[in-house]
Chains A and B, each alone.
Chain A
Amino acid sequence: MADIDIRAVHKSYGKTKTLHGVDLSFASGEFVVILGPSGCGKSTLLRMIAGLEEITAGEIAINGRIVNTLEPRERGCAMVFQNYALYPHMTVAGNIGYALKVAGVPKAERDRRIEETAKIVGLSDYLTRRPAALSGGQRQRVAMARAIIREPKVFLFDEPLSNLDAKLRVTMRAEIRKLHQRLSATSVFVTHDQVEAMTLADKLVVMNKGHVEQVGQPLDIYHRPASVFVASFIGSPAMNLFETRVETGAATVRFGGAQVPIDGALAAQLRGKDIIVGIRPEQCVVVQPGNGVSAKVDFVEELGSGRVVHAEIDGQPFAAVIGEEMRVRPGDRISLELPPSQLHVFDRDSGRRIEFEAVPRAPQNAAEAPVLAIVE
C-alpha cells in the first residue's frame, strides 16, 4: 500500500524531450491505467517510477518519500515487463525466488514462499521447468509471480498482455484484476489497448506526446473526453469528428449540407467560433430520408449484435452503429440524425473540450444507454 505523487516530471534523452511536465497522483491501493499511443512516453514514466530511468526534472514521491535518487530495490516496486524478461537459465522456482535469494532469505522460508506464490498464479506443477519450456501465458504468470513474491507496495506493469493471444489476454486481464483485489497494492498498468484500459482501471490516465491529456474514471473519460485526442482515441469504433463553426443568429452548425441543431445556450456562447463537433457512432440515429444528414454507405461491418456502417459525408468518413434489423448495402444513401445532447464540442485551436452545463448527460432509458463497444 502506497500512494504515488508525480510532480512536474520531465524527461529528456539528450536533446529530445520525451515527457513535458507530468503531474499525477495515485491513491493507495488504486488500479491506475496509463493509456496512450505507442511512443507517447508511457513506459518512460513507468520506468521513472521504478527507478530504471533517471528523472530529468521534477520529483516522484512514494508514500510521501521522494525517491528520485533511490535505487529500484529501495523503492518497494515490482515490475512486470512486456517480454517477461525471465531469467532463461533458471527454473521457474529460481525465477520466482530470485529476489528473495538476493535479499538473503533462508532457503527453507524461500521455498515455502515460492510454493505459496506459485499456487496463487497456478504454476505449482511447473516449478522445475525452464522458461523456454513454458507457453506464453505461463511465462506471463512466472513474471507475475516474480513480482508478487516480493510483496511490493507498488506493482508496475508495462504492457504485460500484449504478447498474448486475444483469448488469453482476456483471461489474464481478469486474473490481474482479481490479484489486485487480493493484494491491494497500488498498481500502475501501462497499455496502448483501450479495452484493457477501460476494463481494468479505477483511474485512467490518457497520455499523448509526453503530456497527460486527461485523468479520471474510465466512464467519465468515455462520456466527457477532455480533448479531441481523447475523443478520437477512446471508443471503438472511433468518435466521428467534424470541423465547423456556429453561424451568427442560429442554433445550428453546418455539416454535410445540412444544419445540425445544437444546444441553444451553447450556440449563444460559441457564436462565430471555429469548433470541432464529435459524436459517437453508437449515438447516431437513422431517420427517414429528407431529415438529418445524408450519408453515402461505403461498406458495412458486421459485429453480430449490430453493424457498423462506414459512410461518407462531405467526403469525410463517418461511422454509425445501426441495429441488426436494418438492411443497408454499399452505395445506399441513409439519413442520420445527430441528437444535440450527444454532441461533444471542442475548441478548434486548442483541441480542448468546451463544457456546457445545460445538457443532461444521463441517458433517459436503458435502450439509449451508451454501451462500450468492446471489440477484441
Chain B
Amino acid sequence: MIQRTPFADTFTYVLMALGFVLLIGPFIVILAGASQTLQQVNSVPFRFVPQDHLLENAAAAWSRASLGTAMMNSLIMASLVTVGKVALSACTAFAIVFFRTPLKHFFFWMVFITLMLPLEVRVVPTYAVAADLFQPFRLLIAALTGIEVSVEWNLLNSYAGLTLPLIATATGTFLYRQFFMTLPDELAEAARMDGSGPARFFFDMLLPLSRTNMLALTTIMFVYGWNQYLWPLLMITDPAYKTTMMSLVALLPSENGTPDWNVTLAGSLIIMAPPLIVVAVLQRWFIRGLVATEK
C-alpha cells in the first residue's frame, strides 16, 4: 500500500474479515456438522461447534458411498492428469521457445486458441471420438477408397479415457513459456558449447530450473483433476471406475430415509481432503512459482 490512513486501514480490515468469513463459513459448517450426531445436526438452530463423532460419521460415509474405490480412482485420475499435464506442457513450451521452426507461431497460436475451448465446450465431439477412436479415420478411408473398415476401439470405462482428453493444456504451456523466456539465450548456448544436445539441455537445465513452476502447476492441476465431474460422468458407467465426485450423490440421505446430514458432511470432508493436503504441502512453491521466478 502506498497510503496509510486509519480509515483506509479499517476499511481493508473489514473487507478482509468479510472475505474470510465468506470463504471459511461453509467449511466450518461442514466441519461442525460432520462431527455431530444425527440429533445434533438436525437441531434448530444449527450449532457451529464441532463435536467428537467425526470418525464414526466418516466410517459410515466411507461404506455408504464405497469411497474406497472412488478415492483410489480419483487419486489415479488426478495424478495421471497432473503428471500428464505437467510433462506435456513442459515439452510443448520447450518446443515453442527453444526451436526455430517455420511453423512455430502457427503451433503457438493453435495452443493459444484451445484456451477458448475448454472440455465443457467440446464435450460432445470429444466424447464421440473417445467412444469410437477410429471414427475419423474410418470416414476418411471410406471417402478415399470406399472400403469399410470395422475396427472398434474406445476409451469408455478406462483410465486412459478418463485422463487423456484432459491432459492437453494451454495454461501449463503458458506458464512454462513465460518462465523459459526469462532464461538468457546464453544459457542454452553455453550448454550447446559444452556438448549438450536438446534432450540433455531439457533434462539437465530446464527441468531443474523450472522446479517451482512445476510444483505450482502440479498444485493447480491436481485440484483440477480431482474436481472433474462432467467428463467422468460421461466416460464411466462401470462402478469400478467411479470417481469421488460421482459418489457425492450417493452420500445424500435418501428422500424418505433418515436425514443423516452428518454422514453426508463427513463424506464430503473426506473427499475434500486430498486437494487440501496437496495445496497445504505445496503452497509455498505454488506462490513462488506463480509470483516470481527463482533467482
Contact = CB atoms under 8 A, between A and B. Distances in A.
A83 B184 contact: yes
A99 B187 contact: no
Interface string A82-100: 1101111100000000110
B196 interface: yes
A83 B193 contact: no
Interface string B190-217: 1111111000100011001100000000
Contact of B187 (A52, A85, A103, A132): A85
Interface in A58-107: 71-73, 77-79, 81-83, 85-89, 98-99, 102-103
Interface in A150-183: 150
Contacts of A77: 193
A10 interface: no
B187 A87 contact: yes
B184 A73 contact: no
Best-surrounded residue of B189, B190, B196 (most CB of chain A within 10 A): B190
B193 A78 contact: yes
B255 to A, nearest CB: 59
B192 A89 contact: no
Given A98-B194, A99-B195, A87 B205 contact: yes
Given A102-B200, A132-B295, A85 B186 contact: yes
A77 to B, nearest CB: 7
A296 interface: no
A50 interface: yes
Given A81-B186, A102-B200, A50 B295 contact: no
Interface in B75-91: none
Contacts of A88: 209, 295
B193 A73 contact: yes
A107 B184 CA distance: 29
B196 A102 contact: yes
Contacts of A102: 194-196, 200
A45 B60 CA distance: 75
Contacts of B205: 87, 89
Nearest to B201: A102
A232 B209 CA distance: 46
Contact of B209 (A83, A89, A150): A89
A129 B191 CA distance: 20
A73 to B, nearest CB: 4
A146 interface: yes
B189 A146 contact: no
A81 B190 CA distance: 8
Nearest to A98: B194
Contacts of B191: 87, 98
A221 B83 CA distance: 62
Contact of B195 (A79, A81, A103): A103
B192 A87 contact: no
Contacts of B209: 88-89
Range class of the B interface residue count: 10 to 19
Nearest to A79: B193
Interface in A106-154: 132, 146, 150
A52 B208 contact: no
Contacts of B193: 50, 52, 72-73, 77-79, 99
Contacts of B195: 72-73, 99, 102-103
Contacts of B295: 88, 132
Q: Which of A51, A86, A98 has the most CB of B within 10 A?
A: A98
Contacts of A83: 184, 186
A256 to B, nearest CB: 50
Interface in A23-76: 47, 50-52, 71-73
Contact of B189 (A52, A87, A103): A52
Contacts of B190: 79, 81, 85-87, 146
A52 B194 contact: no
Contacts of A52: 189, 192-193
Interface in A323-339: none
Nearest to A89: B208
Interface string B63-85: 00000000000000000000000
B192 A73 contact: yes
Contacts of B187: 85, 87
Nearest to A74: B195
Nearest to B295: A132
Contacts of A72: 192-193, 195
A85 B184 contact: yes
A139 to B, nearest CB: 12
A154 to B, nearest CB: 11
B27 to A, nearest CB: 38
B20 to A, nearest CB: 37
Contacts of A150: 194
Contacts of B189: 47, 52, 79, 81, 85
A14 to B, nearest CB: 12
Nearest to A47: B189
A51 B209 CA distance: 25
Contacts of A85: 184, 186-187, 189-190
Contacts of A86: 190
A205 B141 CA distance: 65
Contact of A146 (B184, B192, B194, B196): B194
Given A88-B295, A89-B208, A146-B194, 18 more contacts: A47-B189, A52-B193, A71-B192, A72-B195, A73-B193, A73-B195, A79-B190, A83-B184, A85-B184, A87-B187, A87-B190, A89-B205, A98-B191, A98-B196, A99-B193, A102-B194, A102-B196, A132-B295
13 contacts: A47-B189, A52-B192, A71-B192, A72-B193, A73-B192, A85-B190, A89-B209, A98-B191, A98-B194, A99-B193, A99-B194, A102-B196, A146-B194
Interface of B: 184, 186-187, 189-196, 200, 204-205, 208-209, 295
| In the A-B complex, the 5 residue pairs with the closest CB atoms | A85-B186, A73-B195, A99-B194, A85-B190, A102-B195
